[in-house]
């Protein structure tokens, strides 16, 4: 019989629909980056697709199905892959064959917990947070257990989230000493395993939540700002924009010395100098030295620029939405774009236009890759020969179809670059014409 800690037993509310806790395990990776992060909890196409995939996995586990070969082949979402991986990992722990692992039976025996709300408390039994754990397996007697989390999007660092779930299970079942957390990145058909002891989890989780609860916490812009409730009006992000505009040097008065506008200006001057690409050795060496001396400031500016770019594109996106709804914004108007009519029957339009072939081509967007695909190997070789261009081994690697398509494209690009032509139609035509 599994023992349950007193704390968990009094707080079990499995089955009830609950709002996310402000410091929920899934928010921990974001809180680790910025203690002021607050999940926007907006339902998007992306999150509802994630929910659908979690439900599908849950139903596979609860029914305990055998997957057919066709289902595996049709597994576009990776949920079937995740289901098989879960069975494989559980059977490894049980030293059994994955095909004989019956997840439904394990759920009935209360060894496998699906979509379960788990609570975490601190050393003094004060509740820290709660969250929904995708899947947890423990046979009830071993010192080791497994925790699974299905990820349906990008691969991001989920260590803090996994540590939080693991801690909740350690607190629920004190007999367990190791929890292997398996993160299933279903889109990539990859899994990452992190093994935790209870102490490791406490060392990760407690400081993050303590910082988030702190009265003196400070905002730090990071990769998750777009998911944050304050994302569109966060002062930290506005400050990042202001730094780029140089008119708020005061905001970094407590920061490292390079965060002064003078250093920022010097960094930009160094980059300007470098961008001239001085071709004499001495000029190059001086520009390089200048850039290297400012490299810390340049690195900071790159981060700032990234943050500012995201923030400004968010402003643009929302402003456009507002204008479309009839709001007027001074000095900004939406251009009414009509999409160009696509020509499908080029030959008829060419005949109808009565233009010369060069004039007609000048009206077209020409794709280098498509042209390269159509050109014969002989033409490519002839052009390369004409301009005495070296033929790279990469370009002429033979595949079953002759010169590789990408190699042909590279060759054509090289010719265009060599001749300093643009890639407009008439120029390409003139290259081709010149070797006929
Ligand atoms: S938007 Fe602001 S509060 Fe939210 S995570 Fe970014 S810096 Fe922190």
Per residue in 248-276, pLDDT (tens digit) is 445 444 444 444 556 777 777 888 777 77
For residue 74, the SS3 value is coil
Indicate the DSSP class of residue 35. T
Give the range among 1-15, 154-168, 353-367, 375-389 with minimum mean pLDDT. Answer: 1-15
The stretch 239-247 carries a mean pLDDT of: 56
Q: Which pLDDT belongs to residue 256?
A: 41
Ligand 1 atom at minimal distance to the Cα of residue 38: 4
Q: Which of 31, 217, 221 to mutate to test the pocket of ligand 1 (most atoms within 8 A of CB)?
A: 221
pTM over 0.95: no
| Residue 182, helix vs strand vs coil | strand
Q: Answer whether 311 contacts ligand 1 (Cβ < 6 A).
A: no
Q: What is residue 242's predicted lDDT score, i.e. its pLDDT?
A: 60
Nearest-CA residue for atom 7 of ligand 1: 221
The verdict on the CB of residue 230 being under 6 Å from ligand 1 is: yes
Ranked by mean pLDDT, the top range of 22-26, 48-52, 174-178 is 174-178
Q: Is 227 in the pocket of ligand 1 (CB under 6 A)?
A: no
Is the pLDDT score of 71 beyond 70?
A: yes
Ligand 1: centre distance to CA 238 (Å) = 10
Q: How far is the CA of 212 from the centre of ligand 1 (A)?
A: 12
Question: At 376, is the pLDDT very low, low, confident or very high (cuts 50, 70, 90)?
Answer: confident
For residues 304-328, average pLDDT: 78
Let me know: does 362 contact 426? Beta carbons within 8 Å: yes
Most confident of 209-218, 220-229, 328-337: 209-218
CA of 323 to the centre of ligand 1 (A): 26
243 CA distance to ligand 1 middle (Å): 17
List Cα–Cα distances, 293 to 252, 287, 290, 298, in angstroms: 20, 10, 5, 10
Q: Residue 243's pLDDT band (boundaries 50, 70, 90)?
A: low
Compare 422 and 202 and report the one with higher pLDDT: 202
Q: Which pLDDT does position 248 carry in this prediction?
A: 44
Mean pLDDT across the chain:
78
Mean pLDDT value of segment 121-150: 94
Mean pLDDT (whole number) for 79-108: 90
For residue 283, give every residue at least 6 positions away whose Cβ sits within 8 Å of its Cβ, in sequence order, or none. none
Q: Which of 9-18, 137-146, 198-207 is predicted with the least confidence, judged by mean pLDDT?
A: 9-18
Cβ of residue 31 lying under 6 Å from some atom of ligand 1: no
The verdict on the CB of residue 219 being under 6 Å from ligand 1 is yes
234 lines ligand 1 (CB under 6 A): yes
Distance 213 CA to ligand 1 centre (A): 15
- Lowest-pLDDT choice from 77-86, 176-185, 334-343: 334-343
- Is the pLDDT score of 176 beyond 50? yes
Could you give the percent of the chain with pLDDT greater than 90?
32
d(CA 176, CA 146): 10
C-alpha 152 to ligand 1 mean position (Å): 24
pLDDT number for residue 404? 56
**Ligand 1 near 360 CB (within 6 A):** no
DSSP conformational letter for 364: S
Q: Domain 6-213 adopts which CATH fold?
A: Lambda Exonuclease; Chain A (3.90.320)
**Extents of the domains making up the chain:** 6-213, 230-324, 355-419
As given in the structure block, the two tokens for residue 414 are: 């090289």
Q: Which residue of 37, 218, 251 sits with most ligand 1 atoms within 8 Å of its CB, as the best mutation to test the pocket? A: 37
pLDDT for residue 86 is more than 90: yes
Compute the average pLDDT of residues 211-237. Answer: 85
Give me 170's structure tokens.
Answer: 């350690």
163: pLDDT strictly greater than 90: yes
Q: Among the atoms of ligand 1, which is closest to the Cα of residue 234?
A: 2
Ligand 1, closest atom to CA 235?
Answer: 2
Q: How close is the Cα of 55 to the center of ligand 1, in Å?
A: 30
Give the per-residue pLDDT at 435: 41
Instruction: Judge if the beta carbon of residue 237 lies within 6 A of ligand 1.
Output: yes
Determine which of 29-43, 119-133, 283-297, 414-428 has the lowest per-residue pLDDT on average. 414-428
Q: Is 221 in the pocket of ligand 1 (CB under 6 A)?
A: yes
Per-residue pLDDT, averaged over 362-383, amounts to 74
**pLDDT at residue 305 in the model:** 74
Residue, of 6 and 83, whose pLDDT is higher: 83
Q: What local confidence, expressed as pLDDT, does residue 436 receive?
A: 39
- Residue ranges of the alpha helices (H) in 95-158? 103-108
The pick from 211, 230, 310 for probing ligand 1's pocket by mutation, whose C-beta has the most ligand atoms within 8 angstroms, reads 230
Q: Residue 75 and residue 185: Cα distance in Å, rounded?
A: 14
Can you give the pLDDT at residue 421?
Answer: 44
| Closest listed residue to residue 384, CA positions, set 423, 351, 414 | 414
> Residue 394's pLDDT is what?
53
Q: Is 228 in the pocket of ligand 1 (CB under 6 A)?
A: yes
The lowest-confidence range among 3-12, 70-79, 170-179, 302-311 is 3-12
Q: DSSP string covering 205-253, please?
A: HHHHHHHHH-TT------TTGGGBTTGGG-HHHHHHHHHHTTS-GGGGT
Least confident among 36-40, 102-106, 367-371, 418-422: 418-422
Asked if pLDDT for residue 28 goes beyond 90, the answer is: yes
Asked if the model's pLDDT at residue 424 lies above 50, the reply is no
CA of 34 to the centre of ligand 1 (A): 6
- Residue 15, pLDDT > 90, answer no
The pLDDT of residue 23 is above 50:
yes
């Amino acid at each position: 019989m599994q023992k349950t800690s007193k704390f968990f037993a009094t707080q079990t509310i499995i089955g009830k629909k609950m709002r996310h806790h402000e410091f929920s395990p899934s928010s921990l990776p974001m809180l680790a980056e910025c203690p002021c992060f607050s999940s926007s909890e907006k339902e998007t196409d992306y999150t509802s697709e994630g929910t659908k995939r979690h439900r599908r996995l849950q139903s596979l586990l609860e029914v305990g199905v055998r997957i057919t070969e066709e289902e595996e082949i049709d597994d576009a979402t990776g949920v079937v892959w995740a289901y098989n991986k879960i069975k494989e990992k559980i059977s490894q722990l049980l030293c059994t064959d994955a095909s004989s692992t019956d997840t439904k039976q394990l759920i009935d025996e209360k060894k496998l917990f699906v979509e379960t709300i788990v609570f975490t408390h601190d050393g003094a039994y004060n509740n820290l947070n709660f969250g929904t754990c995708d899947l947890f397996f423990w046979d009830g007697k071993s010192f080791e257990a497994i925790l699974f989390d299905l990820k349906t999007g990008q691969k991001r660092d989920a260590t803090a989230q996994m540590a939080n779930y693991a801690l909740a299970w350690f607190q629920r079942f004190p007999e367990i000493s190791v929890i292997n957390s398996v993160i299933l990145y279903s889109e990539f058909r990859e899994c990452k395993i992190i093994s935790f002891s209870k102490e490791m989890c406490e060392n990760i989780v407690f400081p993050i939540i303590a910082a988030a609860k702190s009265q003196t916490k400070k905002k730090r812009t990071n990769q998750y700002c777009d998911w944050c409730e304050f994302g569109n009006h966060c002062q930290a992000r506005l400050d990042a924009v202001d730094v780029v505009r140089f008119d708020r040097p005061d905001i970094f008065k407590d920061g490292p010395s390079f965060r002064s506008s003078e250093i920022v200006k010097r960094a930009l001057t160094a980059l300007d100098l470098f961008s001239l690409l001085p071709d004499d050795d001495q000029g190059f060496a001086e520009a390089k030295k200048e850039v290297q001396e400012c490299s810390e400031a340049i690195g900071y500016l790159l981060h700032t620029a990234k943050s500012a770019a995201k923030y400004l594109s968010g402003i643009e996106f929302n402003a456009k939405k507002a204008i479309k709804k009839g709001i007027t914004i001074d000095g900004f108007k939406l251009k009414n774009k009509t999409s160009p009519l696509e020509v499908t029957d080029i030959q008829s339009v060419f005949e109808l236009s009565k233009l010369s072939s060069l004039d007609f081509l000048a009206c077209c967007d020409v794709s280098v890759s498509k042209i390269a695909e159509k050109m014969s190997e002989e033409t490519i070789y002839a052009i390369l020969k004409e301009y005495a261009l070296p033929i790279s081994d990469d370009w002429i690697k033979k595949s079953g179809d002759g010169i590789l398509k990408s190699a042909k494209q590279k060759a054509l690009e090289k010719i265009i670059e060599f001749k300093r032509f643009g890639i407009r139609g008439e120029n390409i035509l003139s290259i081709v014409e010149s070797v006929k």
